[in-house]
Structure 1
């Protein structure tokens, strides 16, 4: 197995950890009630107030990034079906959109009166997963 395939295989394990890891600590905030916020908890809390946004965040933060990692692993192992290689750049763009959503949330929350948002280790892990996945997709197998 190549180095790229090993890095990509590690992403298959690290992404689920990053989804459950605390992205940030939000205090005095009416949406999250001062809890640590993870991707999974955010999707669940969004579901009760805006199901469509919850589905969108789940697609951009969970489904597309993981699908890209699985497809990249298949490509690196020589098992990607014909024609799927052209879809990887599109999936990569969609899977990077979630970092924008998290950053937008932090900026909006910091601008709210009485809100305090502090990044946690899960944000770094999640960003590293997305960055590593993006870097692997740019390399030629």
Structure 2
């Protein structure tokens, strides 16, 4: 059962990357623009390459590599001794959720514009937390 739940994450992560994380606008009178992980990364690559690289690692590479690594362990194509490294990748992916939450909190606190969270943020958070839970369950299974 764990392996199938993990494989579902391979589908859900790309959906979460393109789903709207938040809607942001400068003034309340105008419409809000939807921001996804991918659209945010596109903007970051144009303005701050270092931050774009960090977010790309946390938001894209860490979660998908963790999910793939866990799948390889579950299907016995990778030794279970790799599980601590796979678990570390899951923790790195959680850092991205923290960064997004900090940015939303800062933007709301400044009161310059308007930000609303969207369903993609919840999906992305669910995927990260689900991946962490599956990693913990897999580690317990191997003990």
Identify, as 1 or 2, the structure richer in helix: 2
Say which is worse superposed, 79-88 or 37-46, in terms of deviation: 79-88
Task: Check whether the contact 2:44–2:51 (CA below 8 A) recurs between aligned residues.
Answer: yes
TM-superposed CA distance for 1:108, in Å, is 1.0
2:74 equivalent in structure 1 = 76
Q: Give the TM-score, by structure 2 length.
A: 0.89
- Of 26, 41, 44 in structure 1, the residue corresponding to residue 42 of structure 2 is 44
Say which is worse superposed, 110-119 or 127-136, in terms of deviation: 110-119
Count of aligned pairs between the two proteins: 136
TM-superposed CA distance for 1:83, in Å, is 4.0
The alignment partner of 2:20 has SS state of coil
Q: Give the TM-score, by structure 1 length.
A: 0.90
- Of 25, 28, 41 in structure 1, the residue corresponding to residue 26 of structure 2 is 28
2:93 equivalent in structure 1 = 95
- Tell me how large the CA RMSD over aligned residues is: 1.6
Q: Any residues of structure 2 matched to 1:62-141 within 5 Å, and which? A: 62-81=60-79, 83-139=81-137, 140-141=140-141
Task: Check whether the contact 2:7–2:71 (CA below 8 A) recurs between aligned residues.
Answer: yes
Task: Check whether the contact 2:23–2:116 (CA below 8 A) recurs between aligned residues.
Answer: yes
Which runs of 4 or more aligned residues in structure 1 lie more than 6 Å from their structure 2 counterparts after TM superposition?
Answer: none
